[in-house]
């Protein structure tokens, strides 16, 4: 488990199905880094894999804001989320409705 923090982040984010979202802090906390939300965001910025493999666009802020999407722009991100059936209103999402928390720890296969 001395794998890079990124690897774990990607594995966790990969678990988020279409129509559902998660937050940076949630992922960070799942990896035993409750204060590592920024590191998670940093990992997302790298985005070494295609969005099909790692749906970076399904990771939003803890307050329900869409967050950012690098050069692509937050509009693109919101658009993708809407296409998956997620209702985005004023750049915000209802976490109580779309938040995915049924994660399984990476590497436990």
Partner DNA sequence: AGCCTGACTCAAA
Partner DNA sequence: CTTTGAGCCAGGC
Count the residues of the shown chain that bind DNA, applying the rule CB under 7 A. 30
Residue from 69, 80, 81, 88 that binds DNA (CB under 7 A)? 69
Q: Does 23 bind DNA (CB under 7 A)?
A: yes
Report the C-alpha gap between 102 and 100 in whole angstroms: 6
Report the C-alpha gap between 30 and 74 in whole angstroms: 25
Query: Which residues sit opposite 89 in a β-bridge?
Result: 92
Among 4-12, 81-89, 98-106, which window interacts with DNA (CB under 7 A)?
A: 4-12
Cα 46-49-52 angle, rounded to 5 deg: 125
Q: Does 47 bind DNA (CB under 7 A)?
A: yes
Q: Does 95 bind DNA (CB under 7 A)?
A: no
Among 39-47, 78-86, 101-109, which window interacts with DNA (CB under 7 A)?
A: 39-47
Give the tokens for residue 21.
């979202």
Most distant CA atoms of the chain, gap in Å:
40
Q: Does 103 bind DNA (CB under 7 A)?
A: no
Q: Does 4 bind DNA (CB under 7 A)?
A: yes
Q: Does 44 bind DNA (CB under 7 A)?
A: yes
Taking a C-beta distance cutoff of 8 angstroms, is the pair 8, 47 a contact? no
């Amino acid at each position: 488990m001395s794998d890079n923090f990124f690897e774990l982040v990607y594995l966790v984010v990969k678990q988020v199905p279409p129509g559902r979202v998660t937050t940076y802090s949630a992922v960070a906390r799942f990896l035993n880094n409750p204060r590592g939300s920024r590191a998670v965001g940093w990992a997302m910025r790298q985005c070494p894999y295609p969005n099909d493999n790692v749906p970076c666009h399904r990771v939003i802020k803890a307050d329900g804001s869409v967050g950012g999407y690098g050069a692509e722009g937050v509009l693109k991100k919101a658009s993708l989320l809407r296409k998956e059936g997620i209702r985005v209103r004023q750049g915000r999402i209802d976490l109580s409705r779309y938040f995915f928390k049924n994660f399984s720890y990476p590497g436990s296969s």
